[in-house]
Amino acid sequence: MNEADTRAQLVDPALKAAGWGMVEGSRVLREYRITQGRLQGAGQRGKPEIADYVLEYRNEKLAIVEAKRHDLPHTEGVMQAKQYALKMAIRFTYATNGQSLYGMDMETGSEGDITRYPTPEELWNQTHAVENAWRDHFAAIPFESVGGSFQPRYYQETAVQRVLEAIAQGQERILLTLATGTGKTFIAFQIAWKLFQARWNLSREPSRRPRILFLADRNILANQAFNAFNAFPEDALVRIAPEDIRKKGRVPTNGSIFFSIFQTFMS
C-alpha cells in the first residue's frame, strides 16, 4: 500500500469518522500548498511545501496531518508536520501511517501516541480554551477570496488571525510589521472586511458598521488601496481628497472605509 492508498483507505475514513468534512463548517484540505517554492533565479522555483492535510473549522486552519505509507513508522512524518505547523502558526499537528497516530501540541510541547483524531469542535475548544464572542463573530466570516481568484499566503492568514484575536481580546493598539511585497494592503483589506461584516465597533456591540480610516503616505498608494477594496459596497468607500474638503468645507462622513494620506489628515 503506497502513500496515496494509505491516505485514501486509512486516513480519509479516520478523519471522516471524527467528523472532518462532515460537521458543518469543517473542511479537509488535501495536498494543501503552503508555499510556491523558493525563488532560485531565471524564473525558477524550488520545491513547494505541501501539507498532506490541513483541517479547517469555522474558517480557521486548526491542524496539519502528515501521512506516510503504512509500512513506515507512524512517526516518520513528525519533523515535517512540526515544520509545517511552525510555518503556518498552527498549534496542533499529527503524523500517521494510517494505522497509528502521533499527536503534537506546538504550544505546550506535549506529544505522543493518541487513539483518534479530535472532532472539529474538540479541536476548536483545545485551540481556544477561553470563549470569546467576538472571536466567534470573526470566525463566522470567511476570507474574501476576490471572486475565488485569490488564496491568501500562509503568513497573511496568520497576520489577519493575530490582529483579529488581539481585537477580540480588547487590545486597542496593534502593530503589524511586514516587508515590501508581502501584501500589506491585502492584509488590511481582509481585516477591514471581517470588521465590517461582523459589525465590530468601539461600543463592542454588533449594532452598526465600523468606520475605518486607511492612511498612506502617498496619493498613489491611497488610490491603489481604494481600488483594491472594491469587494466592499460602493457606498461604503470614501476617498478623502484635499480639493473635496476645500470645495465642500468639511470632511465627508457618509461611508464606512475612508482613504486618505497623512498630509491631508494632518491639515
CATH code, domain with 182: 3.40.50.300
CA–centroid distance for 196 within its chain:
17
Do 84 and 192 lie in one domain? The reply is: no
pLDDT at res. 195:
96
What are the pLDDT digits (tens) for 126-175? 999 899 999 999 999 999 987 666 778 999 999 999 999 999 999 999 99
Structurally, the chain folds into a number of domains equal to: 2
Q: Which helix (H) or strand (E) holds 55?
A: strand 49-57
Cell numbers for 48: 513547494
Higher-pLDDT residue of 145 and 22 is 22
Question: Do residues 53 and 175 share a domain?
Answer: no
Residue where a domain terminates, one of 72, 92, 127:
127
Judge if 181 and 237 occupy the same domain: yes
Q: Could you tell me the residue range of the domain that residue 57 belongs to?
A: 3-127
Helix (H, G, I), strand (E, B) or coil at 17: helix
Indicate the residue among 101, 127, 153 that finishes a domain: 127
Residue 9: is its pLDDT beyond 70? yes
Q: Is this structure's pTM higher than 0.85?
A: yes
Domain identity same for 22 and 139: no
Say whether both 207 and 242 belong to one domain: yes
Do residues 209 and 118 share a domain? no
Q: Residue 231: exposed, middle, or buried by beta-carbon count in 10 A (0-12, 13-18, 19+)?
A: exposed
Same domain, 116 and 181: no
Tell me the pLDDT band of 100, cut-offs 50, 70 and 90.
Answer: very high
188 and 104 belong to one structural domain: no
* Cα 51 to chain centroid, rounded: 16
What is the per-residue pLDDT across 23-50, written as a single tens digit (0 to 9) for each?
999 999 999 999 887 777 777 777 889 9
Across the range 248-265, mean pLDDT stands at 83
Same domain, 117 and 140: no
Give the model's pLDDT for residue 148: 65
Residue where a domain stops, chosen among 127, 152, 186: 127
Same domain, 193 and 231: yes
Residue 147 and residue 262 in one domain: yes
Burial 69-89 (b: 16+ CB within 10 A, else e): bbeeebbbbbebbbbbbebbe
CATH of the domain at 54: 3.90.1570.30
The percentage of the chain sitting over the pLDDT mark of 90, rounded to a whole number, equals 75
Above 80 in pLDDT, residue 89? yes
Same structural domain for residues 236 and 160?
A: yes
